[in-house]
Structure 1
Amino acid sequence: MGVILQDKVALVTGASRGIGRGIALQLGEAGATVYITGRRPELSENFKLGLPSLQHVAKEITKRGGKGIALYVDHSNMTEVKFLFEKIKEDQDGHIDILVNNVYNSLGVSTCFILPVKSSVFQKATEMIGKPFFDQDPSFWDTINDVGLRNHYYCSVYAARMMVEQRSGLIVNVASLGGLKYVFNVAYGAGKEALARMSTDMAVELGPYNVCVITLVPGPVKTETGGFSRASSQTDKRKELLVPSLEKAESPEFTGKALARLAMDPGRLKKSGKTLFTEDLAQKYDFTDKQGMEPQNIRSVRTILETMGKTDVAKYIPTKVKVPKWVIWQTVNRF
């Protein structure tokens, strides 16, 4: 990819593993200085699962050609979030080019139907799958949306202040299909749709300052915590949330490639306010996943038919035949 983003400064929240790590590595490979955040070692799920530390990820970024800077931040503590941006502002003379709001506090991975294990927060969240909201403690809303929505707003405010000053920037909110249809539970879906709405409205106010804001929706992603292989032992209720073509799940760095290419696109402002799918960006910017594998497109008619169990029909449909976005909008339109 080269060092096209060599002079750019990025922040990726929740980058110790999964999609956040994949995004940070790809931005680093493009030459960017990448600040990454995660929990302190004693609180990190990585430590409990025996996965590499946040500092290790920062070193990976540097090895790829960028500059990785690891900072421990509790994204449920807005004082710490404020200090995070003050440090970046001081270090970079008030400059930041890319903000990726990825950190999430439940369901393991915020953007896909992967079911990792051994996380107490995750276990609490998955216990709520299929349980009506009125049978849950209302504080479950905060478990889901404190870090995954409220924090994103705070981070966007602090980043936007610097971007408006420099008259350029990119804010990416990593979201989920849960913003388009019922997934998991009410609190999850409400938070994901609110995140997309936030991107759209921020784009209106930031457009005059040449700042692009988009919502990025990956497909199913196979992560370091076991992903689909561990999911196979889950209950039938949880299995129903998985797509059938598991071998075509994205790698975390596939999302990273999509975001890095978008960051390099001089015409990205035309996409501001929109919800973008990783597979669509792969086709637009002409890249594939590891070893040339093309993940299934969540708008693909074949994928949808396979999800419905109609595999005999699906095999005759070319993978590039996709449902138009206006059709998806019609399915969620409430008017």
Structure 2
Amino acid sequence: MADTPPVAPGPDALRGHVALVTGATRGAGRGMAVELGAAGATVYVTGRSTRAGRSELSRPETIEDTAELVTAAGGEGIAVRCDHTVPADVRALVDRIEAEQGGRLDTLVDDTWGGDQWIEWKPIWEHDLDRGLRAVRNGLETHLITLHTVLPLLVRRGSGLVCEITDGDDMFNDRYRGTMFFDLVKVAITRLGKMLHDEVSPHGITSVSLTPGFLRSEEMLEHFGVTEQNWRDGIAQDKWFAISETPSYIGRAVVALACDPDVSRWSGKALSSGQLARHYGFTDRDGSRPECGRFFADAYFGDKPDADVADYR
């Protein structure tokens, strides 16, 4: 696949574009929503944590915060509380898009997860069954419910982009992630992005699965006891943190795809933020271009344990 010139979408590159980012309360979801807003898009952001009440994760971030960041970036952020395990909630979301946008939806970013608190790093026979099934419900069933309910908007228009957000590209999917329920969900979501190609491409829709690298989410920064300003101090605790990236990076990947008139070239593929950065020429917020997948392939799984991370940024 030939390289294209670097993409630097301006503030109006996606003006008039309507996007839905599910699971946009924090992390990658927030990063993708805000970057879509920076390109001028109208972005519906969904999640379960609002200023009126937190989800069971009990973190402080809210969908209203995300919507305000989208608007401040130059787009229009619209917060909608939605539990994607509840079909009626997703139906109400679609009805709202129908009413407010005339049914227009250009990009669906399917990013629900909410399974971390249910995962135990144990063999399946030692893992609490109810907790494991809850992870599958939160992490996978939500994607199926969303696709079933939202895709008719794109099919009716005969165009659009669907990004199934997962953890790990095909390299990681060929390796066990250490516990079955987590591995099952992430491999399945990657597979969803691929399978959808056969169902939606006849309707002019592009479907991909997309993964960030080592994400410096709010929760990850807290885990390392650092901020975005001094994040490199976390490398002393975990050398792999050196290849980490901000949530903006995968957000810029989504924007690059949404702006690409030939985006169908990617349909059915498993992609990463680093891979797309190399192709389109965008960078992370600090001007670097982390290639987490390539670094892990060489330094963690491959025969270059002393690889210099600087060569992969």
TM over 0.5: yes
Q: Does 1:161 align with 2:170?
A: no
The residue correspondences of 1:279-290 to structure 2 (distance < 5 A) are 279-290=274-285
Name the aligned partner's letter for residue 227 of structure 1.
L
Instruction: State the 1:66 CA deviation.
Output: 0.6
Instruction: State the 1:43 CA deviation.
Output: 4.3
CA offsets, 1:200-236, max 9 Å, x none?
A: 221112111110010001110011124375389xxxx
Instruction: Tell me: CA distance 1:164–1:228, structure 2 relative to 1, closer, same or farther (3 Å).
Output: same
8 Å CA contact 2:18, 2:43 repeated in 1:
yes
CA offsets, 1:57-99, max 9 Å, x none?
A: 2111111111000011112212111111111122111111111
8 Å CA contact 1:36, 1:71 repeated in 2:
yes
Residue identity (%): 30
Q: Does 1:70 align with 2:79?
A: yes
SS of the equivalent of 1:7 reads coil
Name the aligned partner's letter for residue 215 of structure 1.
S
More deviation, 310-319/272-281: 310-319
Instruction: State the 1:54 CA deviation.
Output: 1.8
Instruction: State the 1:296 CA deviation.
Output: 3.5
- TM-score norm. by structure 2 comes to 0.84
8 Å CA contact 1:218, 1:278 repeated in 2:
yes
The residue correspondences of 1:238-257 to structure 2 (distance < 5 A) are 244-257=239-252
5+ residue gaps, structure 1, are 108-121, 233-241, 321-335
Instruction: State the 1:313 CA deviation.
Output: 4.4
More deviation, 264-273/243-252: 243-252
Name the aligned partner's letter for residue 266 of structure 2.
K
Name the aligned partner's letter for residue 106 of structure 1.
G
8 Å CA contact 2:158, 2:204 repeated in 1:
yes
The residue correspondences of 1:79-98 to structure 2 (distance < 5 A) are 79-98=88-107
Count of aligned residue pairs for this structure pair = 291
SS of the equivalent of 2:151 reads helix
Instruction: State the 1:50 CA deviation.
Output: 4.0
SS of the equivalent of 1:292 reads coil
Q: Give the structure 2 partner of residue 307 of structure 1.
A: 300
Q: Give the structure 2 partner of residue 172 of structure 1.
A: 163
Instruction: State the 1:155 CA deviation.
Output: 1.3
Equivalent in 281, 286, 291 of residue 291 of structure 1: 286
Name the aligned partner's letter for residue 96 of structure 2.
K
Q: Give the structure 2 partner of residue 274 of structure 1.
A: 269
Instruction: Tell me: CA distance 1:216–1:47, structure 2 relative to 1, closer, same or farther (3 Å).
Output: closer
Distance in 1, Cα, partners of 2:225 & 2:165 = 22
The residue correspondences of 1:121-270 to structure 2 (distance < 5 A) are 122=117, 124-125=118-119, 128-129=120-121, 131-177=122-168, 179-227=173-221, 229-230=223-224, 244-270=239-265
Instruction: Tell me: CA distance 1:249–1:91, structure 2 relative to 1, closer, same or farther (3 Å).
Output: same
Q: Give the structure 1 partner of residue 234 of structure 2.
A: none
- TM-score norm. by structure 1 comes to 0.79
CA offsets, 1:90-135, max 9 Å, x none?
A: 211111111111111222xxxxxxxxxxxxxx2x42xx11x11012
Name the aligned partner's letter for residue 241 of structure 2.
L
Instruction: State the 1:26 CA deviation.
Output: 0.3
Distance in 2, Cα, partners of 1:316 & 1:50 = 33
CA offsets, 1:17-71, max 9 Å, x none?
A: 11000000000001110000111445426994444x3212211111111100001
Q: Give the structure 2 partner of residue 44 of structure 1.
A: 54
Distance in 2, Cα, partners of 1:312 & 1:100 = 35
Instruction: Tell me: CA distance 1:226–1:277, structure 2 relative to 1, closer, same or farther (3 Å).
Output: closer
Instruction: Tell me: CA distance 1:278–1:317, structure 2 relative to 1, closer, same or farther (3 Å).
Output: closer
Q: Give the structure 1 partner of residue 68 of structure 2.
A: 59
Considering only aligned residues, what root-mean-square deviation do their CA atoms show, in Å? Answer: 2.7
Distance in 1, Cα, partners of 2:32 & 2:177 = 24
